[in-house]
Amino acid sequence: MQSRVGSFSSLEEAKDPSFKIIHQSNRPFPLRFLQYLLLLLGIGIVFSFLCMYTSRNLKVQNVVPVIQSRFQSCAQERNNLESWINPPSNLLHNMNDTELLWRASFVPNIKQYPFKRTPKIAFMFLTRGPLPMAPLWERFFKGNEKLYSIYVHTLPSYKSDFLPSSAFYGRQIPSQVAEWGEMSMCDAERRLLANALLDISNEWFILVSEACIPLQNFSIIYRYISRSRFSFIGSFDEPGPYGRGRYNENMSPEVNITDWRKGSQWFEINRKLAVDIVQDSIYYPKFKQFCRPACYVDEHYFPTMLTIESPDLLANRSLTWVDWSRGGAHPATFGKNDLSDDFFKKIFDGQPCLYNNQPTSLCFLFARKIAPNALDHLLQHSSKFLGF
């Protein structure tokens, strides 16, 4: 492109002397001769350019977009490394899902980064709109700005009103309606993953809801996740009507009954698994067609798919604590009167679990579902309850 720009501008310069020649006729002969030569040269250049241009006339429709797109790529300065390393400055884009997933599936083949990469955790908030626990999360994030990024998926019509000082400001991604138990919910999760993948520094991806709270301070959570050999996604083989009972024979041979898994949708996965989910075109159509309510696809698609593809990378448990003990279709919600020392002690002293194949009592880093009215109480006691 550079050389083309050069020839355009030198053509402009050649025009000026020719104008001068026409208006200044009282010059001595040798100079005048020189001027004529220059004029001829100028005309020659213009003429040869015109010839070149008209000879391409038939192809003009092809040539113009090429020139335009070269201009655009120059303007965006895609040629320097920073533009590949730095996160997009604006989360809004006009890619549709097909284009976004394609773009997000790019993976460098050289595994060593030629720059200092500080791996970040992407916190992906899936909500219909408001984030009532935002002030608590902001306190949690404070001081760790280099180690996290935030993405928020809402109803498309929802406009959040975070102040520029908030960690959530400008973090809404282009969203679409997502229905619980439907494929549109998995689409929303893939959309969150894809947007977060556009930042090359995001290494771990956590899905949380508006009713989730962190149970530890940031350093503990970062260390726990970054040092784990496994990704934390619930994945178990459940006999009975709510597990294997939801399997549909038409999914084979891609998915056999022995591969069928169930797990809560609130996952933590690493970058490799995030790319696997975003690029999947093998299992997606099967689940879309054959796992419809009462098969709740958001409980089966990712656990089953990842268990088939990468069983060795999964911890098979979720980091998000939830209480199903009251029974029914929904887990218990906790308000401000429920959140006492005893409540948190019960979570922390529960059943031990495995961390990097060693038993530990620290099994949960997040909890749901917490009611909005608990916010003030939590803010007041956050250092006692949550350590931040």
CA distance 271 to 344: 31
Taking residues 227 to 256 in sequence order and writing x for each that binds ligand NAG by CB under 6 A, - otherwise, the string is: ---x---------------------xx--x
Q: Applying CB under 6 A, which of residues 160, 184, 217, 279 lies at the interface with ligand NAG?
A: 217
Q: Does 281 bind ligand NAG (CB under 6 A)?
A: no
Q: Applying CB under 6 A, which of residues 24, 54, 69, 97 lies at the interface with ligand NAG?
A: 97
CA distance 104 to 101: 5
Q: Applying CB under 6 A, which of residues 26, 57, 98, 165 lies at the interface with ligand NAG?
A: 98
Taking residues 22 to 51 in sequence order and writing x for each that binds ligand NAG by CB under 6 A, - otherwise, the string is: ------------------------------
Q: In degrees, to the nearest 5, what angle opens at C-alpha 74 toward C-alphas 70 and 76?
A: 120
Task: Give strand pairing partners of 208.
Answer: 125
The residue (of 30 and 253) whose beta carbon lies closer to ligand NAG is 253
3-state helix, strand, coil in the chain (%, to 5): 45, 10, 45
Q: Does 387 bind ligand NAG (CB under 6 A)?
A: yes
The site that binds ligand NAG (CB under 6 A) totals a number of residues, namely 21
For residue 265, give both structure tokens.
């949708």
Distances (CA, A) of 338 to 91, 102, 332, 347, 388: 37, 45, 11, 13, 20
Min separation Cβ 54 and ligand NAG, Å: 34
The residue (of 77 and 249) whose beta carbon lies closer to ligand NAG is 249
In terms of Cβ atoms closer than 10 Å to its own Cβ (0-12, 13-18, 19+), residue 287 is: buried
CB 265 within 8 A of CB 207: yes
- Pick the piece of the chain touching ligand NAG (CB under 6 A) from 42-50, 132-140, 308-316, 364-372: 308-316
The residue (of 38 and 308) whose beta carbon lies closer to ligand NAG is 308
Min separation Cβ 349 and ligand NAG, Å: 15
The residue (of 210 and 222) whose beta carbon lies closer to ligand NAG is 222
Q: Which residues contact 222 (CB under 8 A, 6 or more apart)?
A: 121, 144, 147
Min separation Cβ 102 and ligand NAG, Å: 10
CB 371 within 8 A of CB 335: yes
Binding site for ligand NAG (CB under 6 A): 96-99, 217, 219-220, 230, 252-253, 256, 259, 307-308, 311-312, 314-316, 387-388
